[in-house]
Amino acid sequence: MIDSPAIPECASKLRKQMMLLVRRLRRETTPMELPLSQLLLLSRIEQLGDDATPTMLAEQEGLRPQNLSALLRKLEEAGLVARAGDEQDRRKSRVHLSMVGMQVLTDNRNNRDNWLAQAMSASLTTDEINLLREAGPLLERLAACGETAPSPQEKQALTSPLILDKSE
């Protein structure tokens, strides 16, 4: 562990910079404007796949069961998720994305990715884009610090390469 008086200042500045970007990305929504909490839950359900249970979702999202139930009810009423009984353990239920839910999640990601790609192309040099690419794994390590190991789906998302057009 590195102990430097410059780290707290750097951490504060990085947090502020990242929050600016996160806030900007949040404004890039799909036509079906869902609250961030619902989008995050849809994403977690997708990550867990067939393993998604309400208990697991509550634990991984840091939600109380009552809050999760309310979110799931809203998503179910909107036709974005469906619940089904577990075939092996009838006490459990499984949650999965509907086709509409998957499309909403995909559209949302595409809108945000497109905005970010356009912003990068319009405001950064090739060297700066490459610097961001190199910083990606460092940001992932920071995000994972003190957490449990990522699921196989999260590992896949984290290792997907950033592809850039070399003609820039």
pLDDT-derived band at 44 (thresholds 50, 70, 90) equals: very high
- Burial environment of residue 30 by CB neighbours within 10 A (0 to 12, 13 to 18, 19 or more): middle
Predicted pLDDT at 9: 93
Q: What is the mean pLDDT of the chain?
A: 85
Predicted local confidence at residue 68, as pLDDT: 93
| Residue 30 and residue 106 in contact, taking contact as beta carbons nearer than 8 Å | no
pTM score, whole prediction: 0.71
pLDDT in tens, 81-134: 999 887 777 778 899 999 999 999 999 999 999 999 999 999 999 999 999 999
Residue of 55 and 51 predicted with greater confidence:
55
**Residue given tokens 């809203």 in the structure block:** 74
For the chain, domains (ranges, CATH) are 6-123 (1.10.10.10)
Secondary structure letter of residue 161 according to DSSP: P
